[in-house]
Chains A and B, each alone.
Chain A
Amino acid sequence: MPETVIQNPSAAVGVESRLRTHIEMLERRLRQRDEQRRAMLHILVDYEQDRRRLARQTERLDSSRRAVLHILQDSHKDKLRLEASRKAMIHIMGNLRETTAEVQRREQELRDKQEQLVQAGKLATLGELTTGVAHELNNPLNNIGLFVGNAVDLIDLAVTEKGEILDELRHAMQQVSKATEIISHLRTFGRAAPISRVPISLREVIARALSLMGEQLRLREITVTVDLGPQEPVVEGNAIQLEQVFINLLTNARDAVAESPRKEIRISGSVGSAAVEIAVADTGGGIPRGLERRIFDPFFTTKEVGKGTGLGLSITYGIIKEHGGTISVVSPPGEGATFLIHLAAAPADTRETSP
């Protein structure tokens, strides 16, 4: 090519400019390459960084994978265990159904037994009442005999005055109804009756209990005061059972004050917004320290053998509990015992039907 340049100068100028152009182009390319190379270097550095990051991530991923594997293994075991548990559960459910049936049967049995116990308790209370009641019956019977005898005598003596004879017979009738009252009360009390719940006034219940106990308390010179406040203490319950509660408490109080210089039984009560509270307090020797809880136990008694059954207070406790109430005792040293009864007050709208 240079030989060609020498041979033709004009051509040489062309060649030269072409060469320059060519060189410029080459230089441009060289610069471009250089830039490209530098850019490439950058990319390489970036790539290297990415690669390292990736390696680290891979490593993390790997450990995660291992962890997941472990977890999967564990979960499998758990699943097996769960299956076993489920089977066990089914078994238990079966047992539970049987047990429930058994419990229901036992509950029924218990209810039956409780009714029997209530009846036995009433008979025990009656037994303790018998002596006093016999005395109470003996009086009207004796009087009937005397009044009727007088009437017979008057007729024998041919007294024409009817009034005198009628007077004797009327007196006899009064005594008959007195005896009948005592007997019918005892019969109602002793009868096994379904346990019903009706609104009743404790004022009447206490009066009935006192009518049975009155003679015994009077003969023993025991003063009984009843102060139930102005409001009627109405609760929902069973009149006979609640009467039994007060007979039992009065019997205990009667025995407690037997040796006391001051013989008093105080029944007080108050009606709160939701509850009726009745306190039966005596002036007896009180309850020895530490026995406050035991006195409600069945067959626990501090009385002499043959004097008490030990059932009175446990029956009382049972009845109050059955009525959804509570009974407790306080007996500060040197003072008598006070039994506190709390019962839910009957709703106001049911009180109209109170007997």
Chain B
Amino acid sequence: MTTTLGVLIVDDNPALLQALPRALRLRMGGVTVETADSAAAALERIAVQDYDAIVTDIKMPGMDGLALLAEIRARRPDTPTLIITGHGENELVVRALRGGACDFIQKPIDRDYFVAALYRAIRAHVLNRRVKDRQLALECCAEELERIVQQLEREQS
């Protein structure tokens, strides 16, 4: 796994934007946490930075978490996105998962669960990326081999 992880947390509650990043820094070594207090602010950050994971609240004034999720899927399809929901908002959870969220975290947030979910998401993301990289490398090798085979055939004939 890469040494420094970049995580973006999006929520309209200022106290949560204080508490959650600290929790992550305490629990996850070598993590850089940035915050955005609205979906619009988050999109600005996403435009200039490729995060390893994004965590967003669902209920926010203006653009809500579900709309933000759709935007992230369009602009950064590889970035894993986790959704924070209130208790009992099962319908929203289903919509978020269908909309491409990789996991959900219920309020009140269980720190162990949250950190585990975040790691899982990032690991999946990293592994995905590694698989793609390997696949690309393999394709390159295959092309190379093809070329070598063709060259050998020409030399033989």
Contact = CB atoms under 8 A, between A and B. Distances in A.
Contacts of B13: 139, 143
B23 interface: yes
A174 B15 contact: yes
Nearest to B16: A143
A4 B86 CA distance: 176
B26 A154 contact: yes
Contacts of B108: 138, 141-142, 145
Interface in B5-64: 13, 15-16, 18-20, 22-23, 26-27, 59-62
B107 interface: yes
Given A138-B87, A139-B16, A140-B15, A149 B61 contact: no
A299 B26 CA distance: 55
A149 B111 contact: yes
A150 to B, nearest CB: 5
Interface in A218-232: 218-221
B26 A146 contact: no
A145 B109 contact: yes
Given A138-B108, A146-B109, A171 B23 contact: no
A157 interface: yes
Interface residues of B, number: 20
Q: Contact size class for A? A: 20 to 34
Nearest to A145: B108
B19 A147 contact: yes
A157 B27 CA distance: 10
Given A138-B86, A219-B61, A146 B27 contact: no
A153 B26 contact: yes
A91 to B, nearest CB: 68
Given A153-B26, A157-B26, A171 B18 contact: yes
A87 interface: no
B16 A218 contact: no
A146 B86 contact: no
B86 A143 contact: no
A152 to B, nearest CB: 9
A139 to B, nearest CB: 5
A135 interface: yes
Nearest to B22: A150
Interface string A141-171: 1110111011001100100000000001001
Interface string B68-99: 00000000000000000011000000000000
A223 to B, nearest CB: 11
A221 B61 contact: yes
A135 B111 contact: no
A189 B26 CA distance: 41
Nearest to A222: B61
A174 B14 CA distance: 12
Interface of A: 135, 138-143, 145-147, 149-150, 153-154, 157, 168, 171, 174-175, 218-221
Interface of B: 13, 15-16, 18-20, 22-23, 26-27, 59-62, 86-87, 107-109, 111
Counting from the closest, the 4 A-B pairs by CB-CB distance are A146-B19, A142-B108, A143-B15, A153-B26
